Structure 1
Amino acid sequence: MALYADLHRHLGGSVVPRILWRYFQRHDEQLAQRFPDYYKFEEFYTRERSSLDEYLELHTLVESVQTVKTLPYFIYRLIRGAYIFENLAYLELRYTPYYRTAHDLSQHERIEQMGTIVEIVGKASQVKEYPMITSQILCMHTRLPYEVNKAIVDLAASRRDYVCAVDIAGGDSHVRERLDEFIRLYQYARSLGIKTTGHLFETVNGCYPELLPYLMRIGHGIQIPLKYPELLKEVAQLNQCLEICPTTYLKTGTLEDLSELKIVFERCFEAGVDIAICTDNAGLHNVRLPFEYENLLTQNIIDFAQLEACQDAAFRHAFAWPYQQRPASLLTGLLQETYLDDHSSKPLLTL
């Protein structure tokens, strides 16, 4: 039964360890030799890293095998798992299309090929036996030149049938030296009517309030309630939603314990700031969305009412969800109507 929405999931980090390792064994001799034993690979792939930058290096491993030919293979398995094991009704996949193009092409040719990548991802995400609404968020990248990042924004504007927003990825500490450039890119995106989110305030090295006015959602954003709670009023006024990805902060060394998120949720709820609970990199973490919910509940970080509020917020802030209500509400109404229809003609039991 599809009930949930994940607003922050990276295509590169979404491949679960078993699927990725099996692909290596079948199709990539070099990587198969590097990782001959599955359990050693799983330990390497999912272990905690010392920093966000070290953690992000793992994306290059997956990006190297996500190509024009192989993307349908990975996406089919991603959609199947998200529908069957996570009960997702809605999924936004984010990635940098430039890093899925052929490396032997020129920069201009790779920019041209990005459109093909977007179409492949879009078509592969539409799996009839696993009905789910999906959309793409195209990520600009801190390691890419301005020309490529601008082309990513232009591509998002031209493929609104598949793309719902733009983002910036690549490690939040690397934004500082190009902050004015990324402000211009976000201004340009908003001028084209493109929706926006951005990896911001994830770590103490990635806090750029100058970018806040241009974002409709904030990728992570946990340092706002932790270190800059005075900004929560502005976030609430802008109706921005934080995309909180709990396991990520343990894997990147950003937080030492999940309990540190309790104050994040408390301060956001007090300030009227919405939170959507997300997975970020479900494959790298080997943790699916329902387990993120369960971990927060069992560790007393949130209660069930707060969880439901976060689930509501996810659909309310989803860039491409076409309905006014989340699936659970629609289903409840349908079941109530069915119950009334079944019992309306039956006599009441009397004593």
Structure 2
Amino acid sequence: MALYAELHRHLGGSVVPRVLWRYFQRNRSNLIEHFPGYLDFEDFYTRPRNTLDEYLELHTMVESVQTEATLPYFVYRLMRGAYVFENLAYLELRYTPYLRTPDHLSQSERIEKMSEIVDIVGKASQIGEYPIEMSQILCMHSRLPYEVNRAIVDLAVAHPHYVCAVDLAGGDAHYRDRLDEYVKLYDYARQRGVNTTGHLYETEEGAYPELLPYLMRIGHGIQIPLHYPELLPQLAEQGQCLEVCPTTYLKTGTLDDLQQLKVVFDRCFEAGVDIAICTDNAGLHNVRLPFEYESLLTQDIISFQQLQACQDAAFRHAFAWKYEQRPERILSDILRPEADDDLDLMVGETSTVG
């Protein structure tokens, strides 16, 4: 059985429509009262949007109900589905903890509350019945002030047992006016030993080469091979990996056709730049990771060998994967140790005959 690693999934967009609908029915029926039934809600929740900003507005609906009291409910169902339906052995779940704190509190009180949110998500993810490793990526946000984003980095420093990296989210078209601030924050994170990724080069407005030196991975980054291929050797030299989320680009209007990703994969493979295939917002898309794999294969965007290389890259670039091997190999060593002994014997017999 193949087991996978998912490096780019948002907590806000990870709740599948049916789970969210049931929660609203039981607890917040006012949020769905204008939908005649579930299918109408699912269509609204998962349909493509015209722009990335319009798409990101959907996150606010989910963020408003992901509170201290409800996060265990959502995280448990997310983890269960990831293991049972997606064969995930490893998951990095990203979100902005500040946006899960009560909005009636002062900024300083909400900053203090963020630590509780990280602990709640971390404890809720420790599910003994489903052997899946999960770590958190904390997102700084373009809508939040410097003080809050700095506190998010400090939170990552203080919680290495739950947090594996920091990110920058909120739509890459909105970074320009505060670019020096984000450079400073990323530099601070790296100095404190925090791993880094960031939503960058997702859209044509999101080209910020100034941030690239501070990132260990690049969230999306598809505009680099599409429009700035001269940067690819630099990415390869620095060992940076692109977190490519195919369905997202159709849902946000960033790409018109999935076939446009063929250039992304071809140029990255040619330049030696790793790609991890991810879902981004599996709930908003109503799409699971194996479907992303299948879609790219059946449309001849990548070959089977390239798919395997991307799956290997996901484990290799995972911030909190503790093992040198993929889980299938570890399982094989446990379940079939005699196979290695037989192979050694065959090799020995061949060398003797030779």
User: Shorter-normalised TM-score: what interval?
Assistant: over 0.9
Q: How does 1:271-290 map to 2 (within 5 A)?
A: 271-290=271-290
Q: Name the CA shift for 1:113/1:298 in 2 (closer, same or farther; >3 Å).
A: same
Q: TM-score, normalised by structure 1?
A: 0.96
Q: 2 CA distance for matches of 1:340 and 1:163?
A: 37
Partner of 1:176: 176
Letter in 2 for 1:105: L
Partner of 2:134: 134
Letter in 2 for 1:96: T
Q: 2 CA distance for matches of 1:324 and 1:148?
A: 36
Residue 211 of structure 2: SS of its match in structure 1?
A: helix
Q: 1 CA distance for matches of 2:42 and 2:298?
A: 25
Residue 118 of structure 1: SS of its match in structure 2?
A: helix
Q: How far did 1:337 drift? A: 1.9
Partner of 1:206: 206
Letter in 1 for 2:89: A
Partner of 1:216: 216
Partner of 1:315: 315
Partner of 1:237: 237
Q: How far did 1:36 drift? A: 4.4
Aligned partners of 1:2 and 1:83 also within 8 Å = no
Alpha-carbon displacement from aligned partner over 1:200-247 (angstroms, at most 9, x marks no partner) = 000000010110000000000000000000000110111000000000
Matched-pair identity in %? 73
Q: 1 CA distance for matches of 2:330 and 2:155?
A: 34
Q: How far did 1:31 drift? A: 1.1
What's the C-alpha RMSD, in Å, of the aligned pairs? 1.5
Q: TM-score, normalised by structure 2?
A: 0.95
Aligned partners of 2:86 and 2:288 also within 8 Å = yes
Partner of 2:21: 21
Q: How does 1:1-351 map to 2 (within 5 A)?
A: 3-339=3-339
Q: How far did 1:95 drift? A: 0.2
Q: How far did 1:30 drift? A: 1.1
Alpha-carbon displacement from aligned partner over 1:166-213 (angstroms, at most 9, x marks no partner) = 000000000011000000000000010000000000000001011000
Aligned partners of 1:2 and 1:89 also within 8 Å = no
Q: 2 CA distance for matches of 1:334 and 1:159?
A: 32
Aligned partners of 2:138 and 2:166 also within 8 Å = yes
Q: Name the CA shift for 1:260/1:328 in 2 (closer, same or farther; >3 Å).
A: same
Per mean C-alpha deviation after superposition, the further-off stretch among 31-40 and 220-229 is 31-40
Residue 209 of structure 1: SS of its match in structure 2?
A: coil
Aligned partners of 1:7 and 1:276 also within 8 Å = yes
Aligned partners of 2:32 and 2:41 also within 8 Å = no
Q: Provide structure 2 residue ranges, at least 5 long, that are not aligned to the other structure.
A: 346-354
Aligned partners of 1:242 and 1:276 also within 8 Å = yes
Alpha-carbon displacement from aligned partner over 1:149-179 (angstroms, at most 9, x marks no partner) = 0000000000111000000000000001100
Letter in 2 for 1:293: Y
Q: How far did 1:29 drift? A: 2.5
Letter in 2 for 1:35: F
Partner of 1:349: none
Letter in 2 for 1:262: K
Residue 137 of structure 1: SS of its match in structure 2?
A: strand
Letter in 2 for 1:131: P
Q: 2 CA distance for matches of 1:139 and 1:35?
A: 32
Alpha-carbon displacement from aligned partner over 1:31-77 (angstroms, at most 9, x marks no partner) = 13133410000000000000000000000000010000000000100
Letter in 2 for 1:13: G
Aligned partners of 1:248 and 1:280 also within 8 Å = yes
Residue 276 of structure 2: SS of its match in structure 1?
A: strand
Q: Name the CA shift for 1:18/1:145 in 2 (closer, same or farther; >3 Å).
A: same
Residue 20 of structure 1: SS of its match in structure 2?
A: helix
Q: 1 CA distance for matches of 2:326 and 2:308?
A: 11
Q: 2 CA distance for matches of 1:240 and 1:53?
A: 26
